[in-house]
């Protein structure tokens, strides 16, 4: 029994999402254990490599047309790794989503380790959003002299 190309592609994308999440998670935990910010090397460069891998797999959407998180699961075949989706899935893996709701309901603070992971996720989210934005606008600012008619204004 043979599979059509779309199901092979879908399965590959799903494997890629899970793999990328695991790599990013491992990187974050390594930075946490080393008590080093993700914004510094080697973590920043390694995180960017994961961003590039996600883009090559077709998992980085145009942020202006990306669907809302909508309680996605890392096994969803249509999943795209926006900054929000990436961080929400990792938060779910770590139980941070439930811990944050519980802390809010009880009006208590998050435990120190969970708060540190939340801070690390905010760093990941900020960098991922910045890279997504720059990636989408690359062609606007890297045109050849022959193709520049009018430079778009923001």
Tens-level pLDDT at each residue, the chain (154 residues): 444 444 434 444 444 788 899 999 999 999 999 999 999 999 999 999 999 999 988 888 876 665 555 567 777 767 888 999 999 999 999 988 888 788 777 778 877 888 898 899 999 999 999 999 998 888 787 776 555 555 556 5
Please give the model's pTM, rounded to 2 decimal places: 0.74
Q: Has residue 19 been placed in a domain?
A: yes
69 lies in some domain: no
Residue 136 within any structural domain of the chain: no
- Give the span between the Cα atoms of 143 and 149, in whole angstroms: 10
Report DSSP state, residue 36: -
107-124 in b/e burial notation, b at 16+ Cβ within 10 A?
Answer: eeebeeebeebbebbebb
In a domain, 83, yes or no: yes
- Token pair 């996605």: residue: 72
Question: What value does the CA radius of gyration of the chain take, rounded to a whole number of Å?
Answer: 18
Q: Please report how many Cα atoms fall inside a 13 Å half-sphere around the Cα of residue 75, on the Cβ side.
A: 1
Q: Kindly state the tokens that stand for 6.
A: 């779309």
User: Domain of 44?
Assistant: 5-60+74-122
Cα–Cα distances in Å, from 145 out to 29, 136, 151, 153?
Answer: 45, 20, 11, 17
85 in a structural domain: yes
CA dihedral (35, 22, 19, 99) in degrees, to 10, reads: -130
Residue 105 located in a structural domain: yes
On whether residue 96 sits in a domain, the answer given is yes
- Indicate the number of domains in the chain: 1
Asked if residue 152 belongs to a domain, the reply is no
């Amino acid at each position: 029994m043979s599979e059509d190309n779309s199901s092979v592609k879908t399965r590959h994308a799903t494997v890629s999402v899970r793999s990328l999440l695991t790599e990013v998670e491992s990187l974050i935990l390594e930075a946490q254990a080393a008590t080093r910010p993700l914004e510094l090397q080697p973590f920043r460069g390694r995180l960017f490599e994961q961003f590039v891998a996600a883009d090559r797999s077709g998992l980085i959407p145009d942020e202006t047309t990306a669907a809302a998180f909508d309680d996605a699961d890392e096994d969803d075949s249509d999943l795209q790794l926006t900054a929000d989706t990436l961080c929400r899935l990792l938060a779910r893996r770590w139980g941070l989503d439930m811990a944050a709701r519980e802390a809010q309901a009880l009006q208590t603070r998050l435990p120190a380790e969970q708060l540190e992971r939340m801070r690390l996720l905010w760093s990941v989210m900020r960098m991922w959003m910045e890279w997504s934005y720059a990636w989408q606008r690359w062609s606007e600012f890297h045109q050849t002299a022959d193709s520049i008619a009018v430079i778009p204004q923001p």
